[in-house]
Amino acid sequence: MFDCISDSGSVASYAPLHPSPLATRRVKALSGVEQTLSSLDVTNHSRGQSLDLGRKNAATSSSKNSDVDHYISQASSSESISDTESRFYDQNSAMFVPQVTNPRSPNRQENINLELQKLRIELRHAQGMHAVAQSENTDASQKLNELNKRRLEESMKMKEIIAKEEMAKELANQEREKYEAAAREAEYLKQCAEREAAERKGTELKAIHAAKEKEKLEDALSGSTPQYRVFTWDEIVSATSSFSENLRIGMGAYGMVYKCTLHHTTVAVKVIHSNGIRISKQFEQELEILSRIRHPNLLLLLGACPDHGCLVYEYMENGNLEDRLLQKNGNSQIPWFVRFRIAWEIASALSFLHSTKPQPIIHRDLKPANILLGGNLVSKIGDVGLSTILDSDNLSAMYKDTAPVGTLSYIDPEYQRSGLISTKSDVYAFGLVMLQLLTAKPAIALTHIVETAIDDGNLADMLDPKAGSWPIQETLEIARLALSCAEMRRKDRPDLNDHVLPMLERLKEVADKAQHSASIVTLKSKPPNHFICPILQDVMDDPCVAADGYTYDRKAIEKWLLDHDKSPMTNMALPHKYLIPNYTLLSAILEWKT
C-alpha cells in the first residue's frame, strides 16, 4: 500500500512539472473525432457519386473508424486514469495537501467532464453513422455486385441479341432475295398469264364473232330475224312530201315508186297497194327474200314500213333496162360490151338465187323492166315479190302453181301448160332478156325472129345498131346461147351453172377488153361532164363556185349575174353574188387539156 502511495505520490509530485496527459489526449481525441467526422462526410459524399469509389472510401472509413475507436479508448483510459487520480487525490487529499497543490479547479473538471460527455455523445453518434455507413456500404456492395452481375447478364444478352440481329439481317437478306426472285418470277408469270389471257380473249372474241356471224347467216337463211331497218310511216310521208307526183319515178301493177331522201341517203320507196290478199302476200314475200339474202347484182333492201306496205330500196340512178333499151326517156344507148357484162351479171344473180340454202329461190318474173341500172350501168335484179321458195334444194325440183304469174311473154311455156315451175323457168326468161340485149326489140316472137336471122345469115341486121360495132363471132355465140335458154321444152335448156355462166364469163372478158379500149378513146376525145360549164356548155377556163353551189365559168356567170339575180340552174334567188375560185377543178381541167 505504501508502495502504491509512494508511486502515487511520485506521480503527483511530477504532475506539476509536465503537461497533463488528459488534456493532450483530449485534444488528440477531438482532433481524431473531427478527422473521423470529416472523413465520414467525405466518404458519404463520394459513395453517392460512384460505387467503385464507395468501396475504397468504405475501406478508408473503416480504418478511420478504427482510429476513432483507438482514440476513444485512449480517451476513456485517460478518463479512467483521471478518475482514478481524482479519487486517489480525494482519498489522500488529507495526506498530500501539504506537499502537492491540485492545479485543476472544480469548474475546469466540470468543463472537462462536460467535454467528455459531449465527446461520448459525438462518439456514439459517429458510431451510429459509421454503422449506418457500413450497412449502406454493404448494401451498396451487394447492389453493385448485383448490378455487375446484371450488367454481365445484360452484356451476354446484348451479345446474343446482336448475334440474333445479325442472323435476322442475314435471314432478311436471304428472304429479300427470295422475295425479289419470287417477284420477278411472279411478274414473268403475270406477263405470261396476261399474254395468254389476251390470246385467249382474242380467240374467244374471234370465236364469238364467228358464232355471231354464223348465227346471223343462219338467221338470214332461215328468216328468223329481220335484216332491214324499220321506218315509220311519218318518215315515209315526210320524205316523199306526202307522196308528191314530182317525186314519183315509177308505177306498176302492184304499187308506186318514189325517189326521196331518208337519213341523208337517196332511196327509192315502193308503196304497194293494200287492196288485196295477194298484194299483201307479195309484200311479205319480197320483204322476206330481200331481207335474208345479199348479192352485188340483187337490189338492196334498206328498210321497210311493214304496217303500211312500204319497201325502201337503194336508188338506181340509171333506171331500168327496158327504158334504156327502148330509149323511152331519151337516155344514151348502152354499148355492146356493157350488154355482154349485164348478161353475165344477171346470170350470176340468178345462179345465186337458185343456189340459196336451205331452199332455192325462183324469181318467176325476170324481164328488162325488173332489171335496174346503177352507177356505171351496173345491173341489179329487183321486184322479187312473185318469187317462189322451193321446199327442196334440188334444182330440178318443180313447184305446182295453178295460178300462173308473171309477164306473159317471159312465162315458161311448160309452166303455162302444166302449172309446174322450176329454176329452168327463170332460164327461159333469161334467154329472152339476152335476145333483147342484142336486138333492143320487144319480147313477142323474138325467138323466132332471131332464129330465122341466124339461119339466113342475117344476124347483123337484127342487132341494135346504137350499141356500136358488134363483134360478129361473139355476138353469134351469145345469140345461140340465148335461143338455147329459150327452148320450148324445159329439158332442152342448158344448165345455168355448168354451161351458161362459163360461156358468159368468157364473153365478158372480151367485152372488158373492148370497154377498156373504148374508155381510153373516150377519155381522149370527150371531156368529163363536170368540166362543162352549165351556161356555155363547153369546158371551163376559170371555174368558180356561185352562191347556188354550182360551178360555172367566171366570164359566163359574171355576165349572167349582170342581168339576173337568180340561179341559172335552180331558178331560185341567190343570197349573194360572190364567186369562189375552184382551184381543184381548174387543176384537173388543165391536166386534162395537156
Answer with the one of 114, 130, 164 that is the final residue of a domain.
164
Please indicate, yes or no, whether residues 286 and 327 belong to a single structural domain of this protein.
no
SS3 402: coil
Please indicate, yes or no, whether residues 304 and 342 belong to a single structural domain of this protein.
no
Which residue is it, cell 318474173?
365
Task: Supply the Cα-derived Rg of the chain in whole angstroms.
Answer: 70
Please indicate, yes or no, whether residues 43 and 77 belong to a single structural domain of this protein.
yes
Please indicate, yes or no, whether residues 576 and 589 belong to a single structural domain of this protein.
yes
Please indicate, yes or no, whether residues 278 and 339 belong to a single structural domain of this protein.
no
Averaged pLDDT for residues 354-375: 86
Buried-state track 239-261, b at ≥16 Cβ within 10 A, e below 16 = bbeeeeeebeebeeebbbbbbbe
DSSP E strands, 315-398: 361-362, 371-373, 379-381, 388-389
Q: Residue 437: give its domain's CATH number.
A: 1.10.510.10
Burial of 107 (0-12, 13-18, 19+ CB in 10 A): exposed
Averaged pLDDT for residues 131-149: 90
pLDDT for 432 beyond 80: yes
Identify the pLDDT of residue 173.
92
Please indicate, yes or no, whether residues 369 and 491 belong to a single structural domain of this protein.
yes
pLDDT for 264 beyond 80: yes
Grid cell in block for residue 408: 306473159
Query: Residue 34 — pLDDT band, cuts 50, 70, 90?
Result: low
Q: What is the C-alpha to C-alpha distance for residues 540 and 586, in angstroms, rounded to an integer?
A: 8
Q: Residue 575: give its domain's CATH number.
A: 3.30.40.10
Q: 194 in a domain, yes or no?
A: no
Which residue is it, cell 351496173?
378
The H or E element that residue 421 is part of is strand 420-421
Do residues 33 and 126 lie in contact, with contact meaning Cβ atoms separated by under 8 Å? yes
pLDDT for 397 beyond 50: no
Residue 389 phi, psi (nearest 5): -100, 115
- Work out how many domains the chain is built from and give that number: 4
Please indicate, yes or no, whether residues 103 and 233 belong to a single structural domain of this protein.
no
Pinpoint the alpha helices (H) of 92-105: 93-96
CA 292 to chain centre: 35
Residue 399: strand pairing partners = 421
Q: 15 in a domain, yes or no?
A: yes
Q: 333 in a domain, yes or no?
A: yes
Q: Which domain holds residue 455?
A: 319-525
**Rounded percentage of the chain residues whose pLDDT exceeds 90:** 23
- Higher-confidence residue of 399 and 279: namely 279
Please indicate, yes or no, whether residues 340 and 404 belong to a single structural domain of this protein.
yes
Q: 218 in a domain, yes or no?
A: no
Q: What is the C-alpha to C-alpha distance for residues 306 and 232, in angstroms, rounded to an integer?
A: 9
Which residues are known binding-site members for ATP? Answer: 270
SS3 372: strand
Could you give the residue numbers annotated as active site?
A: 365
Answer with the one of 315, 330, 357 that is the final residue of a domain.
315
Q: What is the C-alpha to C-alpha distance for residues 444 and 435, in angstroms, rounded to an integer?
A: 11
Please indicate, yes or no, whether residues 344 and 435 belong to a single structural domain of this protein.
yes
Query: Residue 170 — pLDDT band, cuts 50, 70, 90?
Result: very high
Answer with the one of 494, 525, 556 that is the final residue of a domain.
525
SS3 256: strand
Which of 246-260, 280-294, 326-340, 428-442 holds the top average pLDDT? 428-442
Averaged pLDDT for residues 363-384: 87
Identify the pLDDT of residue 32.
58
pLDDT, the chain, mean = 77
Q: Which of 337-346, 469-478, 506-515 has the lowest mean pLDDT?
A: 506-515
DSSP E strands, 445-584: 543-545, 551-553, 580-581
Query: Residue 481 — pLDDT band, cuts 50, 70, 90?
Result: very high
Going from the C-alpha of 355 to that of each of 380, 394, 500, 544, 549, the distances in angstroms are 17, 9, 15, 53, 48
Q: 157 in a domain, yes or no?
A: yes
pLDDT for 323 beyond 80: yes
Per-residue pLDDT tens over the stretch 215-233: 766 665 554 455 678 889 9
Which residues are known binding-site members? Answer: 270
Q: Residue 302: give its domain's CATH number.
A: 3.30.200.20
Identify the pLDDT of residue 284.
77
pLDDT for 254 beyond 90: no
pLDDT for 175 beyond 50: yes
Averaged pLDDT for residues 72-77: 46
Q: Which of 254-258, 373-377, 401-405, 523-527 has the lowest mean pLDDT?
A: 401-405
Identify the pLDDT of residue 75.
44
Please indicate, yes or no, whether residues 327 and 300 belong to a single structural domain of this protein.
no
Averaged pLDDT for residues 426-446: 91
Please indicate, yes or no, whether residues 454 and 353 belong to a single structural domain of this protein.
yes
472-485 and 501-525 helices, crossing angle to 10° = 140
Q: 520 in a domain, yes or no?
A: yes
Identify the pLDDT of residue 591.
80
Q: 170 in a domain, yes or no?
A: no
SS3 545: strand
The H or E element that residue 516 is part of is helix 501-525
Per-residue pLDDT tens over the stretch 542-569: 999 998 888 999 999 998 888 888 888 8
Terminal Cα-to-Cα distance of the chain (whole angstroms): 180
Give the Cβ contact number of residue 138 at 10 Å. Answer: 11
Residues in the chain: 594
**Rounded percentage of the chain residues whose pLDDT exceeds 70:** 73
Going from the C-alpha of 87 to that of each of 1, 25, 79, 98, the distances in angstroms are 15, 20, 12, 18
Can you give the pTM of this predicted structure? Answer: 0.52
Q: 202 in a domain, yes or no?
A: no
Per-residue pLDDT tens over the stretch 78-116: 444 444 444 434 444 433 334 444 545 678 888 898 989
Give the largest CA-CA distance in the chain: 215
Please indicate, yes or no, whether residues 280 and 143 belong to a single structural domain of this protein.
no
